[in-house]
């Protein structure tokens, strides 16, 4: 959409340029966030901005603005683009300097943010999606929301080329997360999801779901599970900012719950929608 944020400035998208030696462009040296907007309002915006600052700290990147300053600019960005239902994508890189691996002595972080209309994926939320199962070949700091996403995009592309929505990743048979989502199973009325270690991104949606489990009376454990447990689960779903609580009706070759979203998954979808409506108001627009 028309107006983007470049550092502290609002400019037309066509005027936005980055240096060819920007370290984000050359090394993926930066961090990012995707924030959901419903009814013109941010959902869990504060949590996303807190995680951005945490990711930046983990890569020793000083952000030249406060959370409050950034929040103010993002609110103006939503307004300038008249965004109703969609996302804000924002990234911060270590900035431009002569190419060298070590940090430059002096460079200024470069922030870019823009909005995009993204409808809620209602059909898929109702019917569920399929997922492939793939090796998790990524690095050991998946807790950082880094711009380095080659491992994630190669897995997603493999899923996409097989007509699937997501790739469920595993390390030596232990499920970690999806290529752009967290993964959950339910067995005998208990939810399991990988603990928030260095091997996964601690999703904001994941945290919201664990909070909502208490409200709907679902027992949960942050405990990793194996591919065998995935194949034997009563219900499987993935979760992210854009996918919300997305039922998985086939994981690899295994059909889950007769190919229908399970009862706990459906309850969590409703609980998340309630939580969204509490923060953002009644969901009347499904599209941008
Ligand atoms: N794990 C990975 C690897 C992700 O990329 C994401 C989100 C998640 C988990 C879920 O985190 P959130 O609940 O905080 O969204 N990926 C974002 C992305 O790149 N597009 O949409 C969401």
Q: Model confidence over 193-230: pLDDT tens digits?
A: 999 999 999 999 999 999 999 999 999 999 999 999 99
Which amino acids are annotated catalytic? 145
Domain that holds residue 143: 122-280
pTM of the predicted model, to two decimals? 0.97
Backbone angles phi, psi at 48, to 5 degrees: -65, -40
Q: Which atom of ligand 1 is nearest to the CA of 208?
A: 13
Taking residues 71-93, what's their average pLDDT?
A: 98
Q: Look at residues 78, 99, 117 and tell me which one is the last residue of a structural domain.
A: 117
Q: Look at residues 117, 144, 169 and tell me which one is the last residue of a structural domain.
A: 117
Q: Which atom of ligand 1 is nearest to the CA of 206?
A: 13
Q: Is residue 285 part of a domain?
A: no
Query: What does the block give as tokens for 115?
Result: 């909005």
Q: Are residues 136 and 236 in the same domain?
A: yes
Nearest CA to ligand 1 atom 9: 181
Q: Which residue has the tokens 């209602």?
A: 122
Q: Are residues 144 and 172 in the same domain?
A: yes
Q: Are residues 265 and 228 in the same domain?
A: yes
DSSP β-bridge partners for residue 191: 186, 220
CB of 33 closer than 6 A to ligand 1?
no
Instruction: Give the distance between the most distant pair of CA atoms in the chain.
Output: 58
Report the 10 Å Cβ neighbour count for 152.
19
Q: Is residue 287 part of a domain?
A: no
Of residues 96, 98, 95, 99, the one with CA closest to residue 110: 95
Outline where the chain has alpha helix (H).
23-27, 45-58, 67-80, 122-127, 150-161, 204-216, 227-231, 263-280
Q: Is residue 217 part of a domain?
A: yes
Do the strands 129-135 and 166-171 form a parallel or antiparallel pair, or are they unpaired? parallel
CA distance 175 to 182: 10
Report the 10 Å Cβ neighbour count for 210.
17
Do the strands 190-193 and 219-222 form a parallel or antiparallel pair, or are they unpaired? parallel
DSSP assignment string, 76-109: HHHHHTT-SSEEEEEEEE--B-SS-SSPPSS---
Reported as a single tens digit per residue, the pLDDT across 31-48 is: 999 999 999 999 999 999
DSSP 165: S
Q: Are residues 72 and 143 in the same domain?
A: no
Reported as a single tens digit per residue, the pLDDT across 237-272 is: 999 999 999 999 999 999 999 999 999 999 999 999
Q: Are residues 140 and 176 in the same domain?
A: yes
**pLDDT score of 106:** 87
Query: What does the block give as tokens for 220?
Result: 């949960």
Pocket test for ligand 1, best of 32, 180, 245 (most atoms within 8 A of CB): 180
Q: Are residues 142 and 82 in the same domain?
A: no
Q: Are residues 105 and 137 in the same domain?
A: no
**pLDDT score of 288:** 54
Tally the domains of the chain: 2
CB of 181 closer than 6 A to ligand 1?
yes
CB of 130 closer than 6 A to ligand 1?
no
Q: Are residues 127 and 90 in the same domain?
A: no
């Amino acid at each position: 959409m028309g107006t983007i944020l470049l550092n502290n400035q609002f400019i037309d998208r066509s005027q936005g340029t980055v240096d060819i030696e920007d370290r984000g462009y050359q090394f993926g040296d930066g961090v990012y966030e995707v924030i959901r907007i419903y009814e013109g309002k941010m959902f869990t915006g504060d949590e996303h901005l807190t995680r951005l600052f945490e990711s930046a700290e983990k890569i020793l990147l000083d952000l030249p603005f406060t959370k409050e300053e950034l929040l103010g600019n993002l609110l103006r960005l939503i307004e300038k683009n008249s965004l109703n239902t969609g996302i804000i994508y924002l990234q911060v890189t270590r900035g431009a300097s002569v190419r060298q691996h070590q940090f430059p002595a002096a460079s200024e972080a470069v922030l870019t943010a823009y909005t995009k209309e993204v409808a809620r994926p209602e059909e898929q939320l109702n019917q569920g999606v399929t997922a492939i199962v793939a090796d998790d070949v990524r690095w050991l700091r998946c807790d950082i929301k880094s711009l380095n996403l080659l491992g994630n995009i190669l897995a997603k592309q493999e899923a996409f080329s097989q007509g699937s929505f997501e790739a469920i990743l595993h390390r030596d048979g232990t499920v970690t997360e999806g290529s752009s989502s967290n993964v959950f199973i339910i067995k005998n009325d208990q939810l399991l999801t990988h603990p928030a270690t260095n091997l996964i991104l601690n999703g904001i949606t994941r945290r919201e779901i664990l909070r909502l489990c208490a409200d709907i009376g679902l027992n949960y454990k942050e405990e990793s599970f194996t591919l065998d447990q995935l194949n034997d689960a009563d219900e499987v779903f993935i979760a992210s900012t854009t996918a919300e609580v997305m039922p998985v009706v086939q994981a690899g070759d295994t059909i889950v719950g007769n190919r229908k979203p399970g009862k706990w998954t459906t309850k969590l979808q409703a609980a998340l929608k309630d939580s969204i409506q509490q923060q953002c108001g009644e969901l009347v627009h499904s599209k941008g």
